[in-house]
Chains A and B, each alone.
Chain A
Amino acid sequence: EPEVTQTPSHQVTQMGQEVILRCVPISNHLYFYWYRQILGQKVEFLVSFYNNEISEKSEIFDDQFSVERPDGSNFTLKIRSTKLEDSAMYFCASSALTEQYFGPGTRLTVT
């Protein structure tokens, strides 16, 4: 069964450093998403992406965040200058249309 994969599973970084979180969406899906989940809290939408453009972004997705589809398989989330409050689980999701399927997540710890 096709699934969304994410790397790394855990990333530790120092405040102010840049991180890139990587995702491989399900191969025939056209829509891609990033969500985050702070420990013990609900899942929050960050951004959606279609046809090499951002479709929608939340107020969390400020100028320090960017997304890219550098090739035909990967979808990345870059945080330019990490803050302590960026510590969370980051989930990539993809969809052919409405139904979104999530990856296992990357736990980002900012120290």
Chain B
Amino acid sequence: SAVISQKPSRDICQRGTSLTIQCQVDSQVTMMFWYRQQPGQSLTLIATANQGSEATYESGFVIDKFPISRPNLTFSTLTVSNMSPEDSSIYLCSVEDRQVLFFGSGTQLSVL
């Protein structure tokens, strides 16, 4: 199993600003996944981050709004850009190991 450290755990931000969320894994992994969970909702995959290549975004998510970095096999960042109140959600990073997903503790973002 993988241990994932995610930070910040929560933040309150002003609209129009950006927040970068960091995710550190205790082992090397090929793919890292970023999910969004809107209040009271299920998880929606934002993008898959591969080391050494651009992230693959799901329908409805674009790189300009959610730029992702993946500088090495243990680390990734997700930036939520030009935030609006609609971006208030929990953001989760995860990795897959033998077809099971392991998650960070999540970042609870509130945009005022």
**A and B held together in a complex:** no
| Chain B interface (Cβ < 8 Å from any Cβ of A) | none
| Chain A interface (Cβ < 8 Å from any Cβ of B) | none
